[in-house]
Structure 1
Amino acid sequence: MAASNYNVDLSLAMRMDPVAPGDWLLVAPLVITVLGGALCLMTRKNTDAQPKVAIIFLSLLVAACAGLLARVLDKGVITMVAGNWLPPFGIAFTVDALGATLALTSSVVALAAAVYGIGDVDSSGRRYGFYPFLMLLMTGVCGAFLTGDIFNLYVWFEVLLISSFGLLVLGNERAQLDGAVKYALLNIIATTLFLIATGLLYGILGTLNMADIAIKAREAGLQGPLMTVAVLYFLAFAMKAAAFPVNFWLPASYHTPRIVIAAVFAGLLTKVGVYALLRIFALLLPDARVALADVIALVAIATMLTGVLGALAQTDIRRLLGYLVISGIGSMLAGLAIGTTPALAGTIFYAVHSILVMTALYMAAGVMRGLGGSYSLRELGGLYRASPAFAAVFLMLGFAVSGLPPFSGFWPKVLLVDAALVGGHGWIAASILVTGLLTTIAMGRVWIYAFWRGGAEGTADGQLTSVLVPAPGMTSASIWLPIGLLLGLVILLGVQPEFMMQVSGRGASTLTEPLGYLRSVFGGAVQ
């Protein structure tokens, strides 16, 4: 019989309705970053053209992610499946307000880094791959935020890790290689645990689609094997997020690369780990989150306090900022430990704030070295006289990272403290407040030593011992524009927090009430 005589109902296996034009924004970030990275690689010998190519494509990425967030806020959760196969058989991309918000924030930071890199990365660094690696890193970051398949979350983690290894050793200095070994070792262990947990999860539930996992895990209940998977996931992503006690790799490695690379790492990489924890424990395995809530709370408190105490003990600005990255991770984990919608909203808001402010602070540290010739507080001084405007910029960023009004760090801490008190988690609320106070002291110490003091260690306060001459490039627009952009967003989120609170609330609601997420994948049949 001729094949044409068979009646095959493809609708049983595939989506037959055409994809709405606006939904193509879901995969646009991946297409843009891959094409941009390829063009940067093709122009690797033309070091003047590379920044222009990267800035053009990263600007397109910002526009695509902004359009995607607007569409999610208008239409709700969006899903696309490769080859139009019906879930859970096809590889799904699913985006909600959480994923779209973090993708947009990350793209803004990457654009700022591309501009900053014009003045910070020399022709050798460009020739050996700074801009291609940056584009590849953004492919992995955006893929992780937009995927709806847990195995592909692992794949996108691998993409961003490979590119981060390349960025970390760019320059081939001894300190960079030493930091790369520590960074690579812990991340390889974490990735292995992630893969083992995913294999066990597939063996238990028979699916890799996140929406399907959420449904089947609720039906199965908190079995022993699922609890084992949850513990493995928590350990893996706690390592990637630099949570206590597996956080020592971050301050040992983030101070070694060029400052623009450290800025990107501080802003983005640990937040992908936090995102994975939110997605797995709030959406996929909520019963495991409840069972592990006390453990997560202890880890959160320990991460906050050890991070800020480590910052107080540092004299190298880069190491100090690395410990503040760790402290911020503890605040985000506090929201996960509490687990309510307002607490998760606070975590999402805090993640956006941390991405912006930590990137800006690392970039500001680069300016401090350019003005004063060192990253050491023992050797810095007189920066206020050298640049009063920059002193004001750094002070505002210090207020922001400390959670003081009217900057972006104030509102997520308000949400987290309020959720902790409402939920009866007094120790978490107290830890957040104490951490904020100690962070203020740490940043005040930096400002007094580096800006107010007249010179290196031993110089009397206010006594200028020498006239600082800025290093070449410190007056360049490529250095000041990205810092000004990020500071502007930090101020805007502080004085006009309503939009970010609304978006964070939408993202948190999807995690705690996932019906819209599930229906986006499987249609209206899900109840």
Structure 2
Amino acid sequence: MNNLIILPIIIPFIIGAVLIIFPKHHRLQRVVSGFTAVGMLLLSIYLAIVVYQNGIIVLEAGNWSAPFGIVLVADMFATLMILLTSLLSAACLFFAFKTITPQREKFYFYPFYFFLLVGVNGAFLTGDIFNLFVFFEVMLLSSYALIVNGGTKYQLRESFKYVIINVFASALFVVAVAWLYSVTGTLNMAHISERIAELEQTGVVNVIAIMFFIVFASKGALFPLYFWLPKSYFGPPAAIAALFGGLLTKVGIYAIIRVFTLVFYHEPSYTHKAVIVTIAGFTMLFGVLGAVSQFDFKRILSYHIISQVGYMVMGLGIFTPLAVAGAIYYIVHHMIVKTALFLFAGAAERVTGTTDLKKMGGLLKTHPVLSWLFFISAISLAGIPPFSGFFSKFPIILAGFQEEQYIISGVALLVGLLTLFSMMKIFSYAFWGKQKHTNEQAKLPIGKLLLPIAPLVALTIILGIAAEPIFQYSLQVAEQIMDPSIYIESVLKE
């Protein structure tokens, strides 16, 4: 059973390596990729059920016991993220089948797609802080190839900032890991947690904690390190932008939550309620102001990634079971809805030939199914009941008021209002009003493009209607990760 948790890493690695051999056989690559994506989704569901029923699963590589050997750890939080990754990657892949051109496919689109999943799944499952760095690099190297896929001038120019900031962040990551090792003498995260508890988290340990926060904040697009994201995510095709928008920043957020609930949790009055909460507030505010100021479909969505990750970090900063459960619920909601919205942007662009809102209009008349599915996703993102956005924001803001964090709670409410305004701006310009695309474009069928998006929209409805059992699951996840002894005992077998 323990060997089960290496499959989300090894399967995409093997498939990616095999697909490199057949770069010109696009149909074969699509068939293999499609079956693999469906298989990964089924595997991730099974893995989440096993961990939920039986508890944390630990795999000791090479039978070297922790903390001396490398371990993979599947707890409820990690398996939830694996499940979401499999779901989103499958939706984006099937959307890509209908939108990615052969010119882009020939540049190893499918191999890099699966290598990206190797890095993402590995980051979720690793129990070793240095291997977290390794899997981050696997993910980033693959994302570099995907973000410039097609090689347009705009992609190459804007992705340069993406590469540069991640190179500097990776260098800082290595420095932080080395410093942490010099203080604790170990790289196993469970063992590090024990050592820091013995040392007491003051002075130099707080400095190391902030270094790790800066590293993960740059990868999660938190204030003030978000400047690379909006234009970088604007250039790639819709399927890639959707995968990046829904998934990649959440790997950074996952790392922040993991490290600041397992390792650096001893001084929450400083690290959480001061530093993290403050950064969350600025992230939400600056992100939504950027979205409000834009008049491009994809750029508005890109800025909203920034504002929305602020809610997730806010839940961690408040640092109560209710707030962290809300943050986890919000991660689930946002990954699903944001991916759907980027795919809707791609479908709208397929019809109109543009994402400039001033050049769009009338899609509600010519493509009503697309329009109303987008509308549901848009108001869910803004937090309108009965959809998932409301029920994921509510516990975070409620916890903020309970903990007397009035300023950040007020900012969260204001950001929700501005999010609604910006999403309705998209709907009024692109879908409402006078038709601006030609009659030939109006007749363009996009039903096949909507097929992989429809399940995501259905999920945001289900996440709202079934809010109570889903929140209870999120609360169980939060209680597990906020009690480090559960993780430590499972890994070190104490």
TM-score by length of 2: 0.97
In the alignment, which residue of structure 1 is the partner of 2:72?
93
SS in 2 for 1:80: strand
The one of 485, 501, 512 aligned to 2:471 = 501
Change (3 A) 1:33 1:466: closer
**Which of 138, 145, 154 is equivalent to 2:117?**
138
- Partners of 1:469 and 1:282 lie apart in 2 by 51
Q: Distance in 2 between matches of 1:207 and 1:167?
A: 35
Paired AA for residue 509 in structure 1: E
Who is 1:515 aligned against?
485
Confirm whether residue 490 of structure 1 aligns to residue 460 of structure 2: yes
Output one character per residue of 1:451-502: Cα deviation in whole Å (capped at 9) or x when no partner. Answer: 111045xxxxxxxx95362586x5252x111111111111111111234323
Which amino acid letter does the alignment assign opposite residue 468 of structure 2? Answer: E
Decide which of 323, 326, 329 is 2:306's aligned counterpart.
326
Provide runs of 4+ in structure 1 moved above 6 Å: none
Indicate whether 1:45 and 2:17 are aligned. Answer: no
Deviates more, 1:222-231 or 1:312-321: 222-231
Aligned partner of 1:362 in structure 2 is 342
> Contact 2:351–2:442 (CA<8 Å) still a contact in 1?
yes
CA contact (8 A) 1:37 1:135 kept: yes
Partner of 1:386: 366
SS of 2:73's partner is strand
Question: Residues 103, 152 of structure 1: CA spacing in aligned structure 2 closer, same or farther, 3 A cutoff?
Answer: same
Paired residues for 1:367-446 under 5 Å: 367-446=347-426
Q: Which amino acid aligns with 1:444?
A: M
Amino acid at match of 1:158: E
Q: Distance in 1 between matches of 2:133 and 2:193?
A: 17
Does the CA contact (< 8 Å) of 2:370 and 2:450 recur in 1?
Answer: no
Aligned to 2:230: 251
Among 260, 263, 269, the alignment partner of 2:239 is 260
What residue number does 2:145 align with? 166
Corresponding residue for residue 275 of structure 1: 254
Aligned partner (choices 304, 326, 331) of residue 351 of structure 1: 331
Does 1:309 find its partner at 2:281? no
Is contact 1:40-1:131 (8 Å) kept? yes
Instruction: Determine if the alignment matches structure 1 residue 452 to structure 2 residue 452.
Output: no
- The Cα shift of 1:85 comes to 1.1
Q: What RMSD, in angstroms, separates the aligned Cα atoms of the two structures?
A: 1.4
Q: Which amino acid aligns with 1:296?
A: I
Structure with a larger share of its residues in helix: 2
State the distance in 2 between where 1:256 and 1:240 align: 18
- Which deviates the most, 486-495 or 505-514? 505-514
Shift of 1:48: 1.1
C-alpha contact (below 8 Å) 1:403/1:413 kept by paired residues = yes
SS at structure 2 position matched to 1:79: strand
Is the contact between residue 66 and residue 492 of structure 2 (CA under 8 Å) also seen in structure 1?
A: yes
Deviation digits for residues 45-93 of structure 1 (CA, Å, limit 9, x no counterpart): 1011111111111111111111111111111111111111111001010
Aligned partner of 1:417: which letter? Answer: I
Cα separation, 2, equivalents of 1:355 and 1:153: 21
Q: Is contact 2:200–2:266 with CA below 8 Å preserved after alignment?
A: yes
Is the 8 Å Cα contact of residues 332 and 347 (structure 1) preserved in structure 2? yes
Q: Give the gaps of 5 or more residues in structure 1.
A: 1-21, 457-464
Once the two structures are overlaid, the 10-residue window that deviates more, 155-164 or 33-42, is 33-42
Cα deviations by residue, 1:350-395 (Å, 9 ceiling, x for unpaired): 1111111111100000111122221000100111111111111110
- Equivalents in 1 of 2:268, 2:220: separation in Å? 17
Comparing 403-412 with 161-170, which one deviates more in the overlay?
Answer: 403-412
Question: Is the alpha carbon distance of 1:471 and 1:376 closer, same or farther for their aligned partners in structure 2, counting shifts above 3 Å?
Answer: farther
Larger Cα Rg: Structure 1 or Structure 2?
A: 1
The amino acid across from 2:227 in the alignment is F
Distance 2:99 2:385 in 1: 31
Residues 261 and 484 in structure 2, CA contact (< 8 A), matched pair in contact too:
no
Amino acid at match of 2:208: V
Q: Is the 2:347–2:446 Cα contact (8 Å) retained in structure 1? A: no
How many residues in Structure 1 have an aligned counterpart in Structure 2? 493
Question: Partners of 1:468 and 1:327 in 2: how far apart?
Answer: 37
d(CA) in 2 for partners of 1:274 and 1:370?
Answer: 32
Per the alignment, residue 441 of structure 2 pairs with 469
Which of 189, 192, 217 is the aligned partner of 2:171?
A: 192
* Contact 2:397 2:409 (8 Å CA) reproduced: yes
What's the secondary structure of 1:287's corresponding residue?
A: coil
Give the corresponding residue for 2:14: 35
Residue 374 of structure 1 contacts residue 380 of structure 1 at CA under 8 Å; is this kept in 2? yes
Distance in 2 (CA, whole Å) between partners of 1:502 and 1:135 is 32
Report matched runs for 1:38-187 at 5 Å. Answer: 38-187=17-166
Are the counterparts in 2 of residues 32 and 60 from structure 1 also a CA contact under 8 Å?
Answer: no
| Correspondence for 2:187 | 208
Kindly indicate whether residue 255 of structure 2 is the aligned counterpart of residue 284 of structure 1. no
In structure 2, what is the Cα distance between the partners aligned to 1:311 and 1:430? 19
Aligned-partner Cα distance in 2 for 1:120–1:37: 20
Supply the distance in 2 between the matched residues of 1:391 and 1:417 (Cα, whole angstroms): 30
| Structure 2: unaligned runs, 5 residues or longer | none
The answer to whether the 8 A contact 1:370-1:470 is kept is no
- In the TM superposition, what is the alpha-carbon distance from 1:247 to its structure 2 partner? 0.5
Q: Which amino acid aligns with 2:199?
A: A
By how many angstroms is 1:246 displaced? 0.9
- Tell me how far apart the structure 1 counterparts of residues 468 and 87 of structure 2 sit (CA, whole Å): 20
Q: What is the SS of the residue equivalent to 1:86?
A: coil
Letter in 1 for 2:453: I
- The amino acid across from 1:358 in the alignment is K
Alpha-carbon displacement from aligned partner over 1:426-458 (angstroms, at most 9, x marks no partner) = 1122111111111111011111111111045xx
One-letter amino acid of the counterpart of residue 376, structure 1 = D
Matched residue type, 2:182: G
